[in-house]
Amino acid sequence: MHIHFLDPYQPRQSLIHAMDGRVKLILAVAFILTTSLTPMGAWAAYILLSALLLSAELLSDLPLGYYLRRAFLVLPFILAALPLPFTVPGQLLAEFAIGGISLQISTEGLIRLISIAIKSWISVQIAILLTVSTPFPDLLQAMRSLRVPRLLVAVFALMWRYLFVLVDEALRLMRARSARSSQHPQGSYRSGRSIAWRARVTGSMVGSLFLRAFERSDRIYMAMLARGYDGEVRTKPLPPLTRAQWVGTLIGIALLLTILIFAQFLSLLG
């Protein structure tokens, strides 16, 4: 079976992959909510959440490096929080001057920065674990089964499908450009003109990509309407969750709730 390179799903014969999509979706959302509600500086709670995440990653039969490489998606969020040590008032930790500008780092601001970085890192990894262990159609079906609004699920589905349409059209343009371009026998020779010319050509390609993707998506949508599409893809109803699945879901939620209460208790003590 052909798998598109954009599809994050990695088929494996693991315990995580064998779990029902509804159970994984509920536990992943509960894990992210627990992480986001954990107070700043609750290091013991962060360790417990990281241990749970690490255990789930090991059970997924994928190398830990796979998750760590993809978790760098969190870097923009961390960069956005970099000014916190300099802007959050609190106990002075360090002070230095750059070009005549005095900068002060507060302990509270640094704790907040590190806490946001850890929370984002953990949350992104659990989202990666969910997507690599569950096919996207199964996630959509799990959302509908859990009474997620129909319009929201339809937006997710169309966004996912038309993303592949956009990428396929971009690949067509790249192949067409390569087929119409000559290559100089000297490998170090750089073809093309100035940077402005290259930017103009790239802009034309982007505009052509938008028009071609828009026309193709319109044809796909008309074909879907002709086949009875009314905003929801008809699928076979999912079987009800078994008692073991319910018990596992409740145990997972109870464990996350215990960690959250423990973190709140540590925050009160601090």
Over residues 216-247, the pLDDT tens digits come to 778 888 888 888 877 666 777 788 889 999 99
C-alpha–C-alpha distance, residues 256 and 130, integer Å: 17
Give the residue extent of every domain in the chain.
Answer: 15-147+240-269, 149-179+208-238
Assign 135 to helix, strand or coil: coil
C-alpha–C-alpha distance, residues 256 and 5, integer Å: 34
| Paired residues of 101 in beta bridges | 98
| Paired residues of 102 in beta bridges | 97
C-alpha–C-alpha distance, residues 263 and 270, integer Å: 11
Q: Is the pLDDT of residue 4 over 70?
A: no
Assign 138 to helix, strand or coil: helix
What are 117-161's pLDDT values in tens digits?
999 999 999 999 999 999 988 898 899 888 888 888 888 888 887
DSSP H helices, the chain, are 15-18, 21-37, 43-59, 64-70, 75-80, 84-87, 107-133, 136-145, 150-179, 195-226, 243-269
Q: Is the pLDDT of residue 180 over 80?
A: no
Task: DSSP letter for 237, please.
Answer: P
pLDDT of residue 58: 92
Cα–Cα separations (whole angstroms), residue 132 to 6, 204, 219: 11, 35, 30
C-alpha–C-alpha distance, residues 270 and 266, integer Å: 6
H or E stretch covering 106: strand 101-106
Mean pLDDT of 20-32: 94
| Paired residues of 228 in beta bridges | none
Least confident of 23-27, 57-61, 78-82, 245-249: 78-82
Side chain identity at residue 138, one-letter code: D
Mean pLDDT of 155-183: 77
Q: Is the pLDDT of residue 174 over 70?
A: yes
pLDDT of residue 2: 42
pLDDT of residue 3: 47
Mean pLDDT of all residues in the chain?
Answer: 84
Mean pLDDT of 163-176: 79
Task: DSSP letter for 227, please.
Answer: T
